[in-house]
Structure 1
């Protein structure tokens, strides 16, 4: 039997959510297309999966470029080599930085929107084009606290993430009745990954054990959503450390 295929967009450091999703899906029996901008990082993620007996390949992709996303889905939907067409897609691209609203340039605002929202539109649209005719599949979007509220210093980020959330809601209402499970995951807290550990080590130390979201635990939640029976689908799930105020 051909093995199923998963597409994970927004794969970076091995100690990051995108890589953790790739590992979890491979563990679940999927051939994983790891898509991101940096080939060296993708190769490391793929090597780790293969060393554990899983199946994966690196697909360098700029998720803000339509041609790149279309090429990725062409690869993911192509049968052969013992693989079935993709039925699991994750849009995980994102960036974040606190900025004084008065100092946000047009270029910076647009860059955050392109990475945080426009890339999700491209991935979601291609997933709908390819999966809806098949009447099956799961599309998952990575959100954030900013998907729900704009905090001081994060207007540029919140605008992008709120837009991504709206895309997921519209897709779910459009295509859920046609068999496509679309869900949005609100990551409400800091992620215990390379980005935060390298940029804010003091905060990591202050949060202490279980003060940040574990990447493997988040990946498990995504896998659970994908495995849900269609009689009880989740459209939005929020995740946070048990100590996180909300």
Structure 2
């Protein structure tokens, strides 16, 4: 028998279609009150209507904006005992030609924004000795690809943040977990090729793994989980 979910309020930062939408549906189906945060909240209206979630506008790389986000969440829903960071930034191109400002912004969203959100979450969870913080990573956090330096830098930093936070916060009752999404995530714009069924990751299946991690007894917590389709090469 699976463990009950020991969380009641969840904030998803970087919400949109795909992984975060599937996680929001899974959590709301388990009775968790969900808040969805993104730069553009207009796109979240259908998901909010479906899940009963509340929407919050935020620039995840702005310290003041992130602080306001948590204050608003506290007031409207209650202090979150589950926080998920799903935002990321990237700019592609040859290293010699990349715009430094675009690279800085990409890293700020992928890594600095994650730090800001983890910090605010920890401040609320530490006095209670309870909570969970989940960080959505990527293949790029394990190996950097050509023409994708900014994404690799951001995701490597995110993984370092997760590892450090897990070592610091887990002994204080806060479960920190990092997910390496190693492969393409299925969507309407990116469906499975007909000749290669299940060669992309189903976002609902990813969400189920998030829920499984949240159900882990604290005597056997995972700090990192890699997810890849069965056809993905290592």
Q: TM-score, normalised by structure 1?
A: 0.87
Distance 1:96 1:242 in 2: 26
> Shift in Å at residue 208 of structure 1?
3.2
- Which consecutive unaligned segments of at least 5 residues does structure 1 have? 50-54
**Pair 1:161-2:155 in alignment:** yes
- The one of 194, 204, 225 equivalent to 1:237 is 225
* Aligned residue pair count: 228
Give a deviation string over 1:172-207, Cα, whole Å, max 9, x none: 11111000110100000001125x53xxx7xx5377
CA contact (8 A) 1:131 1:137 kept: yes
Report what 2:11 is aligned to: 7
CA RMSD in angstroms, aligned pairs only: 1.8
Report what 1:101 is aligned to: 95
Distance 2:26 2:172 in 1: 27
Tell me the SS of whatever aligns to 2:219.
Answer: coil
The within-5 A match list for 1:76-115 is: 76-78=73-75, 85-115=79-109
> Shift in Å at residue 65 of structure 1?
1.5
CA contact (8 A) 2:91 2:103 kept: no
Distance 1:209 1:238 in 2: 20
**Pair 1:61-2:48 in alignment:** no
CA contact (8 A) 1:4 1:84 kept: no
Report what 2:3 is aligned to: none
**Pair 1:127-2:121 in alignment:** yes
Task: Return closer, same or farther for 1:84/1:106 CA change in 2, 3 Å cut-off.
Answer: closer
Report what 1:173 is aligned to: 167
Q: TM-score, normalised by structure 2?
A: 0.91
Indicate the larger mover: 94-103 or 61-70.
94-103
- Which consecutive unaligned segments of at least 5 residues does structure 2 have? 1-6
Tell me the SS of whatever aligns to 1:73.
Answer: helix
CA contact (8 A) 1:121 1:167 kept: yes
Distance 1:136 1:37 in 2: 28
Tell me the SS of whatever aligns to 1:209.
Answer: coil
